[in-house]
Structure 1
Amino acid sequence: MSEGNRIWQTVIGLALGLAILALAGGYLGWLHPLGDSLSVGRALAATAILVLAVFASFAGLRMAAFVATLLALLTGAQVLLAYSWPGLPGRYSVYQKNLLYRNADLAAVESDIRATNPQIVTLQEVSEPNLALPARLKDAYPHQHVCPGGRVGGTAILTRLVPVPGTAFCAPGLAAMQVVAGVEGQDRIWLVSVHLHWPWPYGQGDHVDRLLPILDRLKGPAIMAGDFNMVRWGHSVSRMAEVLDVRAAGPTFGTYVGWSDFFRLPIDHVFATRGGRVGPRPALGSDHLGLLALVEI
């Protein structure tokens, strides 16, 4: 083998190893919050491994190329399934929206909510100016629970369903209340609106640690929706879903469009006890798309 070929193999092998390391690291959120940050790029890492595997095969690294291809296909299939597999629609309609604290098009958001007519609305970044939206919707959603937040605003739940008295409360980045539902009011459902911190190197891991004991106290069927600032397969989101015993409504969508309309991050989600089906709504003055879900408890 010539010196040029050996250098070529070394470069490809090193690049392939780094891509595999990044992919594997995305499964280690249980060990360190950095793992969750890496899990956001799982699809990109799997794609990079597939491309590098082709080069590795031509460079004579056939066994490495074969193993890398299998790894990329197995992990990439998980992400592809999340993006493509729809859930079964349920009885309860949920409109999820991060408003953006400086939204200048609240009228369009109001119109979209009225047009889709959901039973439940979950909001984030409910800043002082954005409080005008719940006020405008008071006629359609008489039961409102708004929790204050920091610089970008808080979380809120708007609903036509009748609240169970004394159940509404606030926590950091979270609003929750229990409501009466069902044909004869036989169901009690916890509604939760969530806005998590950004992931590592920011404080998402610690934020989730504070919320888990709170969510663990909410017994019975639940619907949880919000801006999680994390993909649904991330460890932090999985922990919250597990403790509340809820499943993601599918499929997942790229909802954050603040960087580019062509590079969307799937970080807004709707969960329910028995899952459901979800679809996107327009951005309407926000850097997040809305979601409209039909979920089941």
Structure 2
Amino acid sequence: MKVLQFGLSAGVAVVLLCLAAGYLGRLHPAGDSFAVFRPQGALALVLLAGGAVMLAMPGVAAVALGVALITGAPILLSRGAAEAMGGVALYQKNMLDRNDDLAGLEADIRAAAPDILTLQEVSDPNLPLLERLADVLPHRMFCTFEDVGGVAVATRFPPVAGSEICAHGLAAMQVEGPNGRVWLVSVHLNWPWPYGQAAHLKRLLPVIEGLDGPVVIAGDFNMVRWSAALARVRAASRTTAVGPVLGSYVGFGPWMLLPIDQVMAPGGGTAEVRPRLGSDHLGVLARVGI
């Protein structure tokens, strides 16, 4: 019994330390890497709390369950802005550079009838999709980005002449929206620490901050919305996260969907997932307020 109690206490301590590290992203990018798995950490604490009850450890159970609720409840209870339901429709998709279902993806985009389309991993084989959608999304721009494929924006709104901006993993275009001019931005960030996301974001934040006027920004950020990195993106773009939190990356299997595809807009909004359609990311269809 003593051995089991010690092992369970040690497990709770390790999970608590990992969860605590996830709140330190402003001090070091490793904190954001821990933050990615905050929901899984909260679930682990719930399970450990159950084990603590079985082993007659009420104090450990109370601590584990309390921290699980504090860290996990805000994610589970996330919601979008209801007033944005009548807003602009945006379809976000990391296509996967080796997408083998472009026809299915095209059909789903047409069925969703978005006003704005943001794409990542737009490789040479994927580029024809933009051309095939030209009848419904006639205005588009594409920016190259590393070997995995570029980023793109397509829209039915007329662009402001000469407004296109290409940066490292970013495509931005200002358009004449229904309520005035607005920037449409597609982003693909590198993987987080120990990879180069922090340095990549440092390059992009001045570009985002320099966009004059309202901004709608979407993409594969390889990061969760509760991270310090995404807080900086929202501050730079003067936007609010579109909710609720949605698992979008399916590469680890259906048991660990990571919510790393994000949509942000001045008035927030609501969102739902779309099928994989040849990718390792689900699509995200959002209604955003500008």
Q: Which residue of 2 aligns with 1:163?
A: 159
Verify: 1:87 aligned to 2:86, yes or no.
no
What does residue range 214-253 of structure 1 map to in structure 2 within 5 Å? 214-253=207-246
Aligned residue among 266, 270, 274 for 2:263:
270
1:246·1:273 contact (CA, 8 Å) conserved in 2? yes
Letter of the 1:248 counterpart: A
Q: Which residue of 2 aligns with 1:279?
A: 272
Distance in structure 1 (CA, Å) of the matches to 2:201 and 2:127: 26
Partner SS, residue 280 of structure 1: strand
Q: State the Cα deviation string for residues 245-286 of structure 1 (Å, max 9, x = none).
A: 111111121111123234311111111101111111111111
Letter of the 1:215 counterpart: I
Partner SS, residue 183 of structure 2: strand
Partner SS, residue 257 of structure 1: coil
Offset at residue 37 of structure 1 (A)? 1.1
Task: Count how many residue pairs are aligned between Structure 1 and Structure 2.
Answer: 288
2:81·2:267 contact (CA, 8 Å) conserved in 1? no
What does residue range 145-184 of structure 1 map to in structure 2 within 5 Å? 145-182=141-178
Letter of the 2:247 counterpart: G
Offset at residue 213 of structure 1 (A)? 1.0
Offset at residue 57 of structure 1 (A)? 4.2
Distance in structure 2 (CA, Å) of the matches to 1:262 and 1:60: 30
> 1:261–1:63: structure 2 CA closer, same or farther, 3 Å change rule?
closer
Letter of the 1:99 counterpart: M
Letter of the 1:157 counterpart: V
Partner SS, residue 205 of structure 1: helix
Offset at residue 58 of structure 1 (A)? 4.5
Verify: 1:72 aligned to 2:65, yes or no.
no
Verify: 1:206 aligned to 2:202, yes or no.
no
Letter of the 2:71 counterpart: T
- Alignment gaps of 5+ in structure 1: none
Q: State the Cα deviation string for residues 113-161 of structure 1 (Å, max 9, x = none).
A: 1121111100000111111111111222221110011111110000110
1:249·1:295 contact (CA, 8 Å) conserved in 2? yes
Q: State the Cα deviation string for residues 149-202 of structure 1 (Å, max 9, x = none).
A: 1111110000110111121110111100111112xxx51111110111111111
Partner SS, residue 263 of structure 1: coil
TM-score (norm 2): 0.94
Letter of the 1:131 counterpart: L
- Alignment gaps of 5+ in structure 2: none
1:91·1:295 contact (CA, 8 Å) conserved in 2? yes
Q: Which residue of 2 aligns with 1:123?
A: 119
Partner SS, residue 113 of structure 1: helix
